Chain A
Amino acid sequence: AQSVTQLGSHVSVSEGALVLLRCNYSSSVPPYLFWYVQYPNQGLQLLLKYTTGATLVKGINGFEAEFKKSETSFHLTKPSAHMSDAAEYFCAVTSLRGFQKLVFGTGTRLLVSP
C-alpha cells in the first residue's frame, strides 16, 4: 500500500519569502511522486512530477521539489512567494507501473501575506 503525509494543513508566508511544503511518502515499490495545486473552485493542476532520473525536478511557476529516497520525502519549494501562489497543494504518489491510482495527501493550504 502507498500513502502520503503532508505536514501542516496550513502554511503562512510573506510575499517574497521562501515557500516550503513538506511531503513524506510510503511505498513498497519505486514511487512516482507528484505535486498538484488547486486554486479556489478549480480542478487540480499538475505542478511537477518525479518518475525516474534526476531527483531535483522543476515545475511550473518557479516551483521545484527534490526526491530523497533515504528520507522518503518529496518537499516542494519556491525561493520567493508571490500572492498568486495562495492555493491548496496536494502531494500524491503512485506506483512505477500498472494501474495509476493516485494516492493523495490531505493537502496544505498556502497563505501568502503582503
Chain B
Amino acid sequence: DSGVTQTPKHLITATGQRVTLRCSPRSGDLSVYWYQQSLDQGLQFLIQYYNGEERAKGNILERFSAQQFPDLHSELNLSSLELGDSALYFCASSVDEGSNEQFFGPGTRLTVL
C-alpha cells in the first residue's frame, strides 16, 4: 500500500459525459501527478500540481482539467468523453516538486461506452 488513494476504482460512462476522478496523496506529500495508461499510448504523464499550483503539463487534452485543493487532494475532470479516453488513470504523489520518488495509487479504470 503506497498510501495514495484513488476513487472510484472503476467508472463506466457514456460518450459525451463528464467524470471526476479523485486522488488523496500520501500524508505529507505536497506534489500530485496524474498519468494515463492506455493500450495504444502506454503510460503518459498528464499534469502535475504542487501545493495547489499547476507546475507541469504533459499530453493532457483540453477536455481534461485538474486541480489541487487546500487539503492537497486532487481531482481530474474529464469532459466530452470519447471512446478513446477509456484507460487507467493513475495518481502519484511525492514529498515536493523536486522529489525524484513518486508513489502511485491503485488507479481508476475508466470505461467509456
Q: Whole-angstrom distance from the CB of B73 to the nearest CB of chain A?
A: 17
Q: Whole-angstrom distance from the CB of A103 to the nearest CB of chain B?
A: 7
Q: Whole-angstrom distance from the CB of A69 to the nearest CB of chain B?
A: 17
**Chain A residues within 8 Å of B2, by CB:** 43, 45
In the complex, the answer to whether A49 meets B101 with C-beta atoms within 8 Å is yes
- Which residues in B have some Cβ–Cβ distance to A below 8 Å? 2, 4, 31, 33, 35, 42-45, 48, 55-56, 58, 90, 92, 94, 97-107
Per-position 1/0 for A31-49, Cβ under 8 A of B: 0100010000011111001
A83-B55 Cα distance, complex, nearest whole Å: 41
Q: Whole-angstrom distance from the CB of A53 to the nearest CB of chain B?
A: 13
A49-B48 Cα distance, complex, nearest whole Å: 21
Question: A51-97: which residues lie under 8 A (CB-CB) from chain B?
Answer: 51, 90, 94, 97
Question: A2-23: which residues lie under 8 A (CB-CB) from chain B?
Answer: none
Known: A102-B45, A104-B43, A107-B43. A43 touches B107 (CB 8 A): yes
**Chain A residues within 8 Å of B101, by CB:** 46, 49
- The 9 listed contacts between A and B (C-beta, < 8 Å) are A32-B100, A42-B107, A43-B104, A43-B106, A45-B2, A90-B43, A97-B98, A103-B45, A105-B42
Select from chain A the residue with minimum beta-carbon distance to B98. Answer: A97
A45-B90 Cα distance, complex, nearest whole Å: 12
Contacting residue for B42 out of A32, A42, A107, CB 8 A = A107
**Chain B residues within 8 Å of A94, by CB:** 100
In the complex, the answer to whether B100 meets A100 with C-beta atoms within 8 Å is yes
A4-B25 Cα distance, complex, nearest whole Å: 27
Closest 3 CB pairs of A and B: A99-B56, A104-B43, A44-B104
Q: Whole-angstrom distance from the CB of B74 to the nearest CB of chain A?
A: 15
